[in-house]
A and B are shown apart, each in its own frame.
Chain A
Amino acid sequence: NAGVTQTPKFQVLKTGQSMTLQCAQDMNHEYMSWYRQDPGMGLRLIHYSVGAGITDQGEVPNGYNVSRSTTEDFPLRLLSAAPSQTSVYFCASEGTAFTGELFFGEGSRLTVL
């Protein structure tokens, strides 16, 4: 049981480039989400999904796209990377019964030059 798997763990981009952060979970969780973590600002919600085919915006969605074609996968796309998107990104999932516990991936450190 791998839990929540994120790739890549590290990535360096140039301004204007696009990329996709991959997230997969094998716990059959309906709820999945993406957060960014910046020093002194905690974890801020970017986008979330309550099930396949359903996505919605969180607190800081600008510059990011998501899709949820399957229960397992929830990729995050950076459309045109900007230095302000330099951050650590976490994918997280939660069970259908809303246990209240978020299961996080290991994180992806993104640097935009």
Chain B
Amino acid sequence: GENVEQHPSTLSVQEGDSAVIKCTYSDSASNYFPWYKQELGKRPQLIIDIRSNVGEKKDQRIAVTLNKTAKHFSLHITETQPEDSAVYFCAAISDNYGQNFVFGPGTRLSVLP
């Protein structure tokens, strides 16, 4: 089945700096890659996603890039703000896994003022 790895597990940045979180996946049939943000004590919420026919997608300060050949995708957050502090999860969906989401273990991002 699909396996998703995520690095780093924790990340601290100064406010205004950029943050990058990387994920790798194992199933070449995976075709959809969402990112979820989970604030402390809250539910995960979708912040951005990318499909396998696209290499990059941006939404204001966040962007996601996908390298299908290397089977990895990354979340980029620019001009970080304290409200970006949260746990971020990447996920992959494969037809081989019944279209179920396979999540990475998460990255705890702390933005220091």
Chains A and B form a bound pair: yes
| Chain A residues packing against B (C-beta within 8 Å) | 31, 33, 35, 40-45, 48, 50, 56, 58-59, 90, 98, 100-102, 104-107
B49 touches A101 (CB 8 A): yes
**Interface pair B103/A48, CB less than 8 Å apart:** no
With A90-B44, A107-B43 known as contacts, the answer to whether A100 contacts B103 (CB < 8 A) is no
Interface majority SS on B: helix, strand, loop or mixed? strand
Q: How large is the interface on B (under 10, 10 to 19, 20 to 34, 35 or more residues)?
A: 20 to 34
**28 A–B pairs (Cβ distance < 8 Å), ordered by A:** A33-B101, A40-B106, A42-B4, A42-B103, A42-B104, A42-B105, A42-B106, A45-B102, A48-B98, A48-B100, A50-B98, A56-B98, A58-B100, A98-B99, A100-B32, A100-B34, A100-B49, A100-B51, A100-B93, A101-B49, A102-B34, A102-B44, A102-B46, A102-B101, A104-B43, A104-B44, A105-B43, A106-B43
